[in-house]
Chain A
Amino acid sequence: MITEMNNMERVFGRPESLRPVSTHYCPGCGHGIVNRLVAEVIDELGIREQTIGVAPVGCAVFLYNYLNVDMFEAAHGRAPAIATGCKRVHPNMTVFTYQGDGDLAAIGTAETIHAAARGENITTIFINNATYGMTGGQMAPTSLVGQKTTTSPTGRKIERAGYPIKMAELLATLDGPAYISRVSVSSAKYVVRAKQAIRKAFETQIKGLGYSLVEVLSPCPTDWHMTPAAAIEWLEENMLPHYPLGEFKVPQEAR
């Protein structure tokens, strides 16, 4: 029996780019899935030794404990600037940032928009879970209207806190980006598509086509105060209508 198993083709395993450790992410959190998808894509493209990542401030700050590539830990919101400095020194490396919604769409909005506008040849993986996860569930720039958070206890009110930002659509208005898409990790089908988008983003960079970003809608059961299953349901019922999935910008050659 054992011999027989040894002769079988290995069809699934831990990516080489993913360290053999367990993560600190909460049960039902989307980060673990996306960390793995990034590792799988790095493996499939064979670029583990030519990849440099930039971890954010937020729940994914320990990304460097999970991905087995050279990495920076950024200050809050500054990952695109750090990635820019790195990419300019190592133009042949694949440089990516991994950022949450508070990081990318609030404190780091300027860095994000200008890296995109420069067409900086880097890739950004943007986790949108509509809340500040690490600090305990405060209102994020992407929190939905009416969404209850610790700093919008009666729900986000337009007259006080304005509207959630659709970053993918906003960035797609710029000339600099080459590839902008929004995906979700709320179902197996969507996870497969998310991986395809992440791969496309990395390939865009490798081909030297310019800035690429994949926005990933991701559940945060802990701060949404839901079970993992209910969080998935909430995401699909509330986030998908406001944040439509799809490609907002694709490289010229891929059109």
Chain B
Amino acid sequence: MDKRFMTGNEAIAEAALQAGCRYYFGYPITPQNEIPEYMSRRLPEVGGTFLQAESEIAAIYMVYGASGSGARVMTSSSSPGISLKQEGISYIAAGELPCVIANIMRGGPGLGGIQPSQADYFQAVKGGGHGDYHLLVLAPSTVQEAVSLTMESFDLADKYRNPVMLLGDGFIGQMMEPVVFEKRPAVSLPAKDWACTGAKGRASNLVKTLNLDPAELEKHNIKLYEKYQKMRKDEVRLENYLTDDAEVVIAAYGSVARIAKTAIQALRQKGIKVGMIRPISLFPFPYQAFADIAKRVKKILVVEMSMGQMIEDVKLGVCGAAQVSFYGRVGGMVPSYEEIVAEIEKLVKVAP
């Protein structure tokens, strides 16, 4: 068994390598620097290419070029850097190019700070760049889960010909945990016969995003939409934690969900039955899970490291059938389990 003690950032890099990623293009930014640093050391050992680009913009277009050439490729950055990449991410989504983008979020807006944050939820799940498109967005809450989701991301990217964003925060990136690298079973994936590899013995290939004919562009948008609909149907991932007998449910993702678990244990010792729905896929969002729980549970507390972003999707799922409250810390401040306990206690005291 391949068991190691690593930071989340290093684990994401190693997992990418083990998933067959041989190209990495990036630009330094805290708190994700361990990913490019690890890649710069390890990729040459396995015959891959690490390139430190002149900017995040250049890096994402190197990804565009490598992906369009048929390779498994990734980049990583943190919030302000991901903003810079948005133009390229829109082009990559439009050109239907598979790749993995790790976003180890930090506090914002602007230059913000370098401590953990979840303030880029909207940017990640609602598009981010221009045009009607979506990324597949996966949010790990442990270093081990970062490994498995990273590996899976590459398969999902190839399966859907769509960029996949691994959405972590400074905690996930910097925290060290023991992790196991298990070989993933080989998945059957579509051939990349669309890629630019030299037009030998076939008509020439073209990777492009321009459609000047509005009827053609509408057709392309509908094609993309159908892909997102398929993701909504087949790729929803979530964890139900002690929801069976819960009277109050917490909604949280990523590292906040871990803190919430500690709070739930403490609350249950006090006799308050609390559970949690932890979305793992943020796009597609597990709306149905919230619709279902709202039939039974009338109080839901959303906890985020933001001023309230995922709460909008929770409310869409609940659709007025339960009271949805919010607790958030921002700017790199992290909610403690005691704060979450206090919030839940406040909630249960008030009659619905």
- Please tell me which one of the listed residues B65, B68, B199 contacts residue A84 in the complex, with CB atoms under 8 A apart: B65
A68 to B66, CA, bound (A): 21
State whether the Cβ of B229 lies closer than 8 Å to any Cβ in chain A. Answer: no
Given A75-B88, A86-B66, A88-B66, A70–B61 Cβ distance below 8 Å?
A: no
The interface residues of chain A lying within 8 Å CB-to-CB of B51 are 84, 88
Instruction: Tell me what chain A mostly uses at the interface: helix, strand, loop, or mixed.
Output: helix
B196 neighbours in A (Cβ, 8 Å)? 52, 70-72, 86, 90
Q: Are A114 and B70 in contact (CB under 8 A)?
A: no
CA distance in complex: A133, B151 (Å): 45
Which residues from chain B contact A93 at a C-beta distance below 8 Å?
Answer: 197-198
| Interface residues on chain A, number (Cβ under 8 Å) | 33
Does A23 sit within 8 A of B, measured CB to CB? no
Q: How far is the CB of B61 from chain A (nearest CB, A)?
A: 4
Contact: B23 with A89, CB < 8 Å?
A: yes
Decide: A88 and B23 in contact? CB cutoff 8 A.
yes
Contact indicator A85/B204 (Cβ below 8 Å) = no
A48 touches B199 (CB 8 A): yes
Q: Report the nearest A residue to B59, measured CB to CB.
A: A81
CB pair B54–A75 under 8 Å, yes or no, is no
Query: Are B63 and A85 in contact, CB atoms less than 8 angstroms apart?
Result: yes
Q: Report if A88-B49 is in contact (Cβ < 8 Å); known contacts: A52-B69, A69-B199.
A: yes
Interface residues of A in 44-62 (CB under 8 A from B): 48-52, 54, 61
Q: Are B64 and A85 in contact (CB under 8 A)?
A: yes
Q: How far is the CA of A84 from the CA of B63 in the complex (A)?
A: 9
Query: A105 → chain B, closest Cβ, in Å?
Result: 16
| Contact partner, A110, options B58, B67, B68, B197, Cβ 8 Å | B58
Q: Which residues of chain B are within 8 angstroms of A43 by Cβ–Cβ distance?
A: none
Q: Which listed residue, B23, B64, B200, touches A82 by the CB 8 Å rule?
A: B64
- Of A49, A75, A90, A113, the residue contacting B61 (CB under 8 A) is A75
CB within 8 A of B68: which of A75, A80, A86? A86
Counting chain B residues whose Cβ lies within 8 A of the other chain, the interface size class is: 35 or more
Contact B69 A85 (CB under 8 A): yes
The reply to whether B62 and A84 form a contact with Cβ atoms under 8 Å apart is yes
In the bound complex, do residue B62 and residue A82 qualify as a contact, i.e. CB atoms below 8 Å apart? yes
Q: From known contacts A86-B65, A89-B71, A90-B198, infer whether A71 and B58 are also in contact, taking CB-CB under 8 Å.
A: no
Chain A 203-216: CB-based contact to B (< 8 A → 1; otherwise 0) = 00000000000000
Shortest C-beta distance, A119 to chain B (Å), equals: 13
B174 to chain A, nearest CB (A): 29
Contact assessment for A110 and B54 in the assembled complex, using a CB-CB cutoff below 8 Å: yes
Chain A min CB distance to B165 (Å): 19
Are A81 and B53 touching (Cβ within 8 A)? Answer: yes
Residues of A within 8 A of B200 (CB): 49-50
* A-contacting residues, B204-243, CB 8 Å: 204-210
Residue A64 interfacial (CB < 8 Å) = yes
CA distance A89 to B67 in the complex (A): 9
Within 8 Å of chain B (Cβ to Cβ): is A83?
yes
Residues of chain A at the chain B interface (Cβ within 8 Å) = 48-52, 54, 61, 64, 68-75, 78, 80-90, 93, 110-111, 113-114
Besides A73-B208, A73-B209, A88-B51, 13 other CB < 8 A contacts?
A50-B200, A52-B69, A64-B206, A78-B57, A80-B58, A81-B58, A81-B62, A81-B65, A82-B62, A85-B25, A85-B61, A86-B66, A110-B54
B residues near A, CB below 8 A? 23, 25, 49, 51, 53-55, 57-59, 61-71, 73, 87-88, 91, 196-201, 204-210
Q: Closest 4 A-B residue pairs measured CB to CB?
A: A85-B65, A81-B61, A73-B208, A82-B65
